[in-house]
Amino acid sequence: MLGRMALVAVGLLFTAGVVNAKVPRAVAGKAYLTPERIKDQDPAALAKLFAKRKPQIELKREKDGHWKATLVAFFRKASAHGPITLWLYDKADKAALRAKEPVHVMSVNNSAPKEVFIYDLDIDPGYGFNKKHTYLIFVGQIIGKRDARYATGEVSLAE
């Protein structure tokens, strides 16, 4: 019995770090923003679309004064049940990065575990976002009292 439990524990250790078979290694752990609206939910098709891109983009401000984009985040493993959280940090504010004080935090309902998270993002200057600034985006979940960050990306806000 003890040998069987040890074998299961070793198996769990080796499978915990494996990249999800549905998400290619080239995009796993990255969050991409695109001004295009993404409708396709197939992880392989999305990975092929974003594989040659960098997880950085410069967005132009729209007529209403906001910056809008679709966020596509590829996770190394499926998310847990519960809301997905987005943390946005001003890249130039090193003290806030060290203190883990984001410019804005938002949570999005998550009905089922996902390997690929797609969300239409509306960046509002009323929440402290400024033109000509670059923001780091972390996508993950709050599990217990800890942040589990699954993907990262960057967005620069132009005029």
Confidence of residue 60 (pLDDT cuts 50, 70, 90): very high
Q: Identify the pLDDT of residue 8.
A: 37
pLDDT band with cut points at 50, 70 and 90 for residue 17: very low
DSSP 23: S
> With contact defined as beta carbons under 8 Å apart, do 152 and 54 qualify?
no
From the list 106, 73, 71, 76, the residue with the least C-alpha distance to 88 is: 106
Q: Is residue 132 part of a domain?
A: yes
Structure tokens at 2: 């003890």
In a domain, 97, yes or no: yes
Provide the pLDDT for residue 11: 36
For residues 95 and 126, what is the distance between their CA atoms, to the nearest angstrom? 22
Domain-located, residue 10: no
Average pLDDT over residues 34-52: 86
Residue 14 lies in a domain: no
Total domain count for the chain? Answer: 1
For residue 35, tell me if it sits in a domain.
Answer: yes
Question: Which percentage of the chain shows pLDDT scores above 90?
Answer: 60
Quick check: is 32 in a domain? yes
- Residue 95 domain-assigned? yes
24: domain CATH number is 2.60.40.10
User: 40: domain range?
Assistant: 20-157
Distance of alpha carbon 139 from its chain centroid, rounded? 3
Give the model's confidence band at 5: pLDDT under 50 very low, under 70 low, under 90 confident, else very high: very low
